[in-house]
Copies of this chain bind each other. A is one copy, B any other.
């Protein structure tokens, strides 16, 4: 178990080994339950070396978040051709997303679960990543969605677009976890399910057919 113990590697390589071990350990045990001991052993180095290179548990975890976050956004970016139509971009992006999360479950666990569950230094880190994805989605739906709300308060529309993007990203995140946990579901199928749901819904909005609350539907506390 663990990397083969090879001595005197260049620093960059060693660091990647450590990050590999850390992502795996954090992803499986969780941030707090993961011990530096275990990570060092899995990386095949001594603990002091981990500290020498990565400084502290907090920094190590942050480095994991950054690396995995970048890998994920790059995978999505690489899967999308910005010259395509909006729906094609979304479709390509979702497939790339689900494919990546399926191939890096520990990294996804770090980003989706661990980083968000352990408060401040980390939440900000993921928030930045998430903002990128939300921005991508927002971009795709912004114009059309605003159309559908042309006649309403534009500020509300602003916020509603944000909400829609949030919902879409949230649905994607949730489906990624579900897809990883449900055997026999491919990334492509998952992407299709969400696309179907989302685009059909957005399509309606675009065409000016939003759903509206039934009359007298006030909520009684």
Give the residues in chain B near A85, CB-CB below 8 Å. 214
User: A178 to B166, Cβ gap below 8 A?
Assistant: yes
Give the residues in chain B near A197, CB-CB below 8 Å. 164, 167-168, 198, 201-202, 205
Given contacts A173-B174, A201-B202, contact A91 B217 (CB under 8 A): yes
Given contacts A91-B213, A198-B201, A213-B195, contact A174 B166 (CB under 8 A): yes
Give the residues in chain B near A12, CB-CB below 8 Å. none
Indicate which residue in B32, B88, B205 contacts A200 across the interface (CB closer than 8 Å). Answer: B205
Residue of B nearest to A174 (CB): B170
Given contacts A117-B113, A185-B159, A213-B195, contact A170 B166 (CB under 8 A): no
Give the residues in chain B near A33, CB-CB below 8 Å. 32, 118-119
Give the docked Cα–Cα distance between A79 and B217 (Å).
11
Give the docked Cα–Cα distance between A91 and B213 (Å).
7
Check: A175 CB closer than 8 A to any chain B CB: yes
Check: A10 CB closer than 8 A to any chain B CB: no
Q: Can you tell how many copies of this chain the complex includes?
A: 4
Give the residues in chain B near A182, CB-CB below 8 Å. 159, 162
Give 7 pairs: A residue, B residue, CB < 8 Å, sorted on A.
A91-B213, A96-B219, A159-B182, A163-B194, A170-B170, A188-B219, A200-B201
Give the residues in chain B near A189, CB-CB below 8 Å. 156, 159-160, 163
B interface footprint on A78-105 (CB within 8 Å = 1, 0 otherwise): 0100000101100110011001000000
Given contacts A79-B219, A113-B117, contact A190 B173 (CB under 8 A): no
Among A156, A188, A201, A214, residue most surrounded by chain B Cβ atoms (within 10 Å): A201
